[in-house]
Amino acid sequence: MLQPIEPVTDPALPPGHPRDLGGPWHSEAACRSDEAGLFFAPSKEPTAARLLREEAAKRVCARCPVMLECREHAVSQPEPYGVWGGMTAAERRVVLARRRRREAELQHSAPPIAAAG
Ligand code: SF4
């Protein structure tokens, strides 16, 4: 189980990304040493530039020792922006929608709990 995330104060880093957070897995984030703008889109970023930037960020994630922890955090929060755990925000929304649909199906298919008596 992940622990609550405590922010650390590093004004050089954008807020809200693993490298900017304190916690049990954040200190191992591969993105801690990468350039600040790789994981979040600047305003009015052209599509081609966004795709290249996201692929570069995903390459950093691919070698990150805490990718699964990061991904689970970003899907379950959910984190609305940026590349986290090797996934874009749009990709995480798909995973979260599937997860919620699966959970709803499980709730509807579960047998009723018998009343104690
Ligand atoms: S998976 Fe990517 S975004 Fe998450 S901590 Fe690792 S490098 Fe950073």
Q: Would you state the pLDDT for residue 37?
A: 82
Q: What are the backbone dihedrals phi and psi of residue 60, each rounded to the nearest 5 degrees, phi first? A: -65, -45
pTM of full prediction above 0.85:
no
Is 61 annotated as ligand-binding? Answer: yes
Q: What is the pLDDT of residues 47-60, one digit of tens each?
A: 999 999 999 999 99
Q: What is the pLDDT of residues 81-114, one digit of tens each?
A: 999 999 999 999 999 999 999 999 998 887 777 7
Q: Is the peptide bond before 78 cis (omega within 30 degrees of 0)?
A: yes
Q: Is 74 in the pocket of ligand 1 (CB under 6 A)?
A: no
- Where in the chain are the domains? 14-107
Q: Is 64 in the pocket of ligand 1 (CB under 6 A)?
A: yes
- How many A from CA of 114 to the centre of ligand 1? 45
3: left (phi over 0), alpha (psi -120 to 50) or beta: beta
Q: Would you state the pLDDT for residue 88?
A: 97
Is residue 9's pLDDT more than 80?
no
Percent of the chain with pLDDT over 70: 78
Are 74 and 92 in contact, with CB atoms under 8 Å apart?
yes
